[in-house]
Chain A
């Protein structure tokens, strides 16, 4: 993770809300934050992929973080935002309930994720406590890597199946000979 503030023993985080929890993303990877807009859904992708949007001519995929983390779904409202992150020159949008603020946090306040959290530990870089708030620091890189793996696996599984069906019969008549 790039940690530009590391030298000063401080990190700058974009703080956002998701199902009443606070999450933080390193500001270095956040390109912009936009108001939620209708997303063009892309069929045959994992459920947490909401679809794609047109960001000033650039097509970017959008991940629904609630679904990604297995949190209950809610209606999108006026506070819903898409946090646009850029990692290794790949731009992705993350849908969150609301963006609250940008904070500075002493690196010493960040602890390894020890508590049992609702979110898969693989996506968490650490937790921090400030002003009686618990902030879950996300590892955006990991989130995207996993998303990519799963999306590819979904596509590959579909491809495998389609190939099997195609080998079995041009239109697939239930004959699945082609699986080997």
Chain B
């Protein structure tokens, strides 16, 4: 056994990373238990986490941690064996132990001396185990039914003898040499468990070599009062074992199985054997290299095209094109794999919140129910790192300032228990993380007043701001609506930092709030910081990349097919009205397209279940592009999700189609609002009398409503 201080840097890091995951599992399991989700699988999972922690703590030479996890394991084993139903007292106790484990890990991470577990905690755990012994035992038949075999080596009952703390953790693989693992369950009413256990050992000894047993022979002879005896036996066979044990009284169940595979824990371990931990920096470098490769592949393809145009080089060009195509497939696959290695479910970030919310709510005297959904949604690892702190901040905010105390809620006619919804979902190329509370909401007037008081705005400007713009003030540096800075959320990090972090990663933060009803923050994040297939288009001198996933098809629209609706242009595609936006309007907001005299090229994109046409000058082809962020300065730009470097080193802006359409639609709406009387006028030189009904034939309607062909008089 090594001392913790002798661990190498790498070992220490691995130990911490692994242990943190296990502590997380332990904690989320305990919280689920507290919510009443008692099932054998769950208890088992918690037990296994504690057990594995014990093993690795012992290996790392962290005796305090090993001892404490051992005590936890004892209590959990009682629960697992059905002798103890996990009440809030037990869960609280175990959670306190979890806190200690975290402290230990933090100390180890910081290179400090790990703390000693408090005596009181041991005493409480031991007492809980002892209490469990005297509690009414569950009939053996149920025990058998609800206790799946885990193959874990536990020291059942050892805690009650008071030696739980000092007992060194048993080897995690006590019986690598064993052929059989024998488990005998004793009748809970059995008056002399130690005698029966010894009988089991004695009966098995003649059959082969007893490699290990749990409890050990010494423990049995000292004083033992557990209910499960496990023996690892080398040699012998299944029938002989069964026969040898048959004559021993008070055994309610005997299980004999090969010592090696089918135990679930072993299986889990073999899966672990096939995974390795990789430094994220390495993955980052790998991704960058793949990115370079993708760019070079694009260049190679261009060289091939040029070669093909040259006389006498046809065969070379053809071969180059074949090689390039193959290279393309390989790079594509490589890229996919690299990206996949970087994806993690958001659960990695989400799972700390149940505990956090529970503790914070208690601390603030609030009652809050946290509902989490979409934890399986995957996100690039680096983005998970980015959102962890902002989310933490938002959750704290919601509990501190959003959700009201129970009495206030009742007075307002709201349910006593506040609700906090944390969800993740994927929408197109984005992952949305939404945190919604049903609390006070944000009062725009209070925000205005605060902004003025803090000198961020003049009273006149504040008054002139719309309510939505006012909400945006929350993100201004140095702004905090909390009238009193509290221990919970007044830590100097404001929403401005939240926004900065999220936008720095190419995402954005949106906020919705209704006073008295609640607030929702939405983090809109790119799926990955990686690459995508895009359609390259040219408008004037600008090149844009439209993510292929958004593109439905490309159309040539004849002038006669362009109709006017509500002062806007549209066309009809297979009976559906498709609004047309000139992409030029994006870079030149003042541009007003007239009725086209020649056919126009429209890229049909999906938008909210409809089609919208983006009119472009030219198509440049389809290409894999490496997404690069626009950087902090330009993170807030609407309509773009990044930029990419083309084969010739020039840049193309990658369009964020939903935001772009929203942007163009907003322009049009503003135009219409500015000149309401013009709504009937044709957007261009042409004119139209057709106003239709706004509700049905709004330009983004795209409904299969037959468009009333307008008097296309141009």
Question: B503–A152 contact, CB under 8 A?
Answer: yes
Assembled-state Cα–Cα distance A61/B628 (Å): 12
Give a binary string over B387-421; 1 marks a CB under 8 Å from any A CB, 0 the rest.
Answer: 00000000000000000000000000000000000
Assembled-state Cα–Cα distance A151/B630 (Å): 12
Nearest B residue to A161, CB-CB:
B666
Q: Which residue of A151, A165, A174 is within 8 Å of B634 (Cβ)?
A: A151
Q: How far is the CB of A28 from chain B (nearest CB, A)?
A: 20
Q: Which residue of B469, B579, B586, B636 is within 8 Å of A171 (Cβ)?
A: B579
Q: For window 616-671 of chain B, which residues contact chain A by CB distance below 8 Å?
A: 628-640, 643, 645, 649-653, 659, 662-663, 665-666, 668-670
Place the interface of chain B in its size category: 35 or more
Question: A165–B666 contact, CB under 8 A?
Answer: yes
Q: B679 on the interface (CB 8 Å rule)?
A: yes
Assembled-state Cα–Cα distance A54/B174 (Å): 60
Q: How far is the CB of B277 from chain A (nearest CB, A)?
A: 27
A155-B636 in contact given A42-B630, A52-B630, A59-B643 (Cβ < 8 Å): yes
**Chain B hits for A180, CB < 8 A:** 466-468
A60-B631 in contact given A52-B651, A179-B466 (Cβ < 8 Å): yes
Q: How far is the CB of B287 from chain A (nearest CB, A)?
A: 13
**Chain A hits for B653, CB < 8 A:** 40, 42-43
Chain A residues touching B, majority SS? mixed
Give a binary string over B561-603; 1 marks a CB under 8 Å from any A CB, 0 the rest.
Answer: 0000010100000000001000000110100000000000000
Give a binary string over A31-62; 1 marks a CB under 8 Å from any B CB, 0 the rest.
Answer: 00000000011111100010011100101110
Q: B673 on the interface (CB 8 Å rule)?
A: yes
Q: Which residue of A42, A44, A54, A61 is within 8 Å of B663 (Cβ)?
A: A44
**Chain A hits for B587, CB < 8 A:** 41, 43
Question: A49–B630 contact, CB under 8 A?
Answer: no
**Chain A hits for B258, CB < 8 A:** none
Assembled-state Cα–Cα distance A170/B653 (Å): 25
Question: A173–B672 contact, CB under 8 A?
Answer: yes
Q: How far is the CB of B606 from chain A (nearest CB, A)?
A: 13
Q: Which residue of B508, B637, B668 is within 8 Å of A44 (Cβ)?
A: B637
Question: A43–B700 contact, CB under 8 A?
Answer: no
Question: B701–A43 contact, CB under 8 A?
Answer: no
**Chain B hits for A160, CB < 8 A:** 466, 468-469, 472
**Chain B hits for A54, CB < 8 A:** 645, 649-651
Assembled-state Cα–Cα distance A166/B607 (Å): 12
A165-B628 in contact given A44-B637, A159-B638 (Cβ < 8 Å): no
Q: Which residue of A42, A59, A162 is within 8 Å of B665 (Cβ)?
A: A162
Nearest A residue to B640, CB-CB:
A42
**Chain B hits for A44, CB < 8 A:** 586, 589, 637-639, 663
Question: A174–B676 contact, CB under 8 A?
Answer: yes
Q: B610 on the interface (CB 8 Å rule)?
A: yes
Nearest B residue to A176, CB-CB:
B673
Q: A157 on the interface (CB 8 Å rule)?
A: yes
Q: B510 on the interface (CB 8 Å rule)?
A: yes
Question: B665–A171 contact, CB under 8 A?
Answer: yes
A152-B636 in contact given A59-B628, A159-B510 (Cβ < 8 Å): yes
**Chain A hits for B469, CB < 8 A:** 156-157, 160
Nearest A residue to B514, CB-CB:
A180
**Chain A hits for B699, CB < 8 A:** 171-173
A40-B666 in contact given A160-B468, A171-B699, A171-B700 (Cβ < 8 Å): no
Question: A40–B643 contact, CB under 8 A?
Answer: yes
Q: A102 on the interface (CB 8 Å rule)?
A: no
Question: A52–B634 contact, CB under 8 A?
Answer: yes
Q: A71 on the interface (CB 8 Å rule)?
A: no
Question: B638–A61 contact, CB under 8 A?
Answer: no
Question: B468–A45 contact, CB under 8 A?
Answer: no
10 tightest A-B CB contacts, nearest first: A171-B700, A155-B636, A172-B669, A174-B672, A162-B662, A165-B666, A170-B700, A172-B665, A165-B669, A152-B636
* 28 pairs of residues in contact across A and B, judged by CB atoms under 8 Å: A40-B652, A42-B640, A43-B639, A43-B653, A52-B634, A52-B651, A53-B651, A57-B292, A148-B633, A151-B633, A151-B636, A152-B475, A152-B635, A158-B663, A161-B666, A164-B466, A165-B666, A165-B670, A169-B700, A170-B698, A170-B700, A171-B579, A171-B668, A173-B566, A173-B694, A174-B566, A174-B673, A174-B676
Which B residues are closer than 8 A to A by beta carbons?
Answer: 292, 466-469, 472, 475, 477, 499, 503, 508, 510, 542, 566, 568, 579, 586-587, 589, 608, 610, 628-640, 643, 645, 649-653, 659, 662-663, 665-666, 668-670, 672-673, 676, 679, 694, 698-701
Which A residues are closer than 8 A to B by beta carbons?
Answer: 40-45, 49, 52-54, 57, 59-61, 90-92, 144, 147-149, 151-166, 168-176, 179-180
